[in-house]
Amino acid sequence: MSEIGFTPNEMMTIAASRALRNDDVCFVGIGAPSAACNVARLTHAPDITLIYESGTIGTAPNVLPLSIGDGELCETAVTTVAVPEMFRYWLQGGRISIGFLGAAQLDKFGNINTTVIGDYFHPKTRLPGGGGAPEIATSSKEIYITMAQTKRGMVEKIDFFTSFGHGEGGDHRHRLGIDTSGPTLLITDLAIWKPDPVTKEFTVVSLHPGVSRQQVQDSCGWVVKFAEALDETPAPSELELWTLRDLQARTKAAHEGTGKGKAA
C-alpha cells in the first residue's frame, strides 16, 4: 500500500478501465482484464459490451467470474451463443473493437506467451496455452494488454509465440496479412505504455503516481524507452477505488462460499 491509499495493482486495474469507452465491444480475458472491464462498466462506461469466449455477449456480472464460463455471465448477458458462432461470426466477423488480454510472458513488441516456459516439446513449465488468444490477437481491431511488471514476465525474448503482437516490430503484422492494429496499449502496475508509431516498440508514456523511471526499468527485462513528454497517470478517484474494492469483496465472498452465498 502506498501512502496515498491505493496499491499498484489497484492503479493498474483502474488505469486499464479508463482506456475503455462506452461504445466499445470488448472481448474479455480472464483475470486482470476482467476486473478492469467490469470497473469500466460500473463507472464511466455503463453501456460497454463485454464478451467472454464462452459465448456470453453483453454480460454484466455482479461478481467477477472465476472462469470464462461462470453462470453469472450467461444469466446477465444480452444473449449467449455457441462457441463456434462466438469465434466465427463475432470475432472473425470483425465485430470486436478491443481484445483485452493478460500475459505470462510479454516482449517489447506486445507478443504474448502463455504456452510454455522452455522448449515446446520438452517444456520446463507447461502453461495453459492460448485458448482464444491467438485469434483474439489478430481479429480484434485493437489489443490492450495488462499485467504486473516482473523481470520474469517482461522479457527480451519470449519462449513461444502464443499470440502475435507486432512480431519483430515495424510492419511485421502487415507482412503476415494481418490487417488489424494489434497491441495499442499496455497497462502495468507502474506505467502506461504505447507502441512507437514506426518501430512498434512499447514506450512508456505515463508513470503512475509516485513511480520512478528506475522502478519501471528494474522490473522489466528489456531496456525501457520513455516518451519525451512523460505524463503522470491521475491517481484513482474515490469512486473508482470504491467500485473496484466493492467488486473484489463481492467476488471473494462468492468464490469462497462454494456457491452458498450465490444461492441467496
**Could you give the residue numbers annotated as active site?**
53
Q: Is 253 in the site for another protein (CB under 8 A)?
A: no
Q: Is 79 in the site for another protein (CB under 8 A)?
A: no
From the CB of 68, what's the least distance to another protein, in Å?
Answer: 6
3-state secondary structure of 126: strand
The 10 Å Cβ neighbour count of residue 259 is: 9
From the CB of 133, what's the least distance to another protein, in Å?
Answer: 7
User: What does residue 249 show for φ and ψ, rounded to 5 degrees?
Assistant: -65, -45
From the CB of 162, what's the least distance to another protein, in Å?
Answer: 6
Residues 127-166, one symbol each (x = binds another protein by CB under 8 A, - = not), give xxxxxxxxx-xxx--------------------xxxxx--
Query: Is residue 7 a contact partner of residue 237, using CB atoms and an 8 Å limit?
Result: no
From the CB of 216, what's the least distance to another protein, in Å?
Answer: 27
Q: Is 89 in the site for another protein (CB under 8 A)?
A: no
- On the CB side of 100, CA atoms within 13 Å amount to 29
Q: Is 59 in the site for another protein (CB under 8 A)?
A: no
Map the footprint of another protein across residues 94-123, applying CB under 8 A: 115, 120-121, 123
DSSP 8-state class, residue 154: B
Query: Is residue 101 a contact partner of residue 133, using CB atoms and an 8 Å limit?
Result: yes
Q: Is 31 in the site for another protein (CB under 8 A)?
A: yes
From the CB of 31, what's the least distance to another protein, in Å?
Answer: 8
Strands 25-28 and 98-101: parallel
Distance CA 33, CA 238 (A): 21
Residues 195-234, one symbol each (x = binds another protein by CB under 8 A, - = not), give ----------------------------------------
Q: Is 69 in the site for another protein (CB under 8 A)?
A: yes
Distance CA 238, CA 71 (A): 30
Q: Which residue has the cell 520512478?
A: 212
The 10 Å Cβ neighbour count of residue 6 is: 19
Residue 245: C-alpha distances to residues 2, 71, 159, 250, 252 (Å): 16, 22, 35, 9, 10
Nearer to another protein, 104 or 204 (CB): 104
Q: Which residues bind another protein (CB under 8 A)?
A: 30-31, 53-56, 65-71, 73-75, 80-84, 86-88, 91-92, 115, 120-121, 123-135, 137-139, 160-164, 167, 172-173, 176-178, 254-260, 262-264
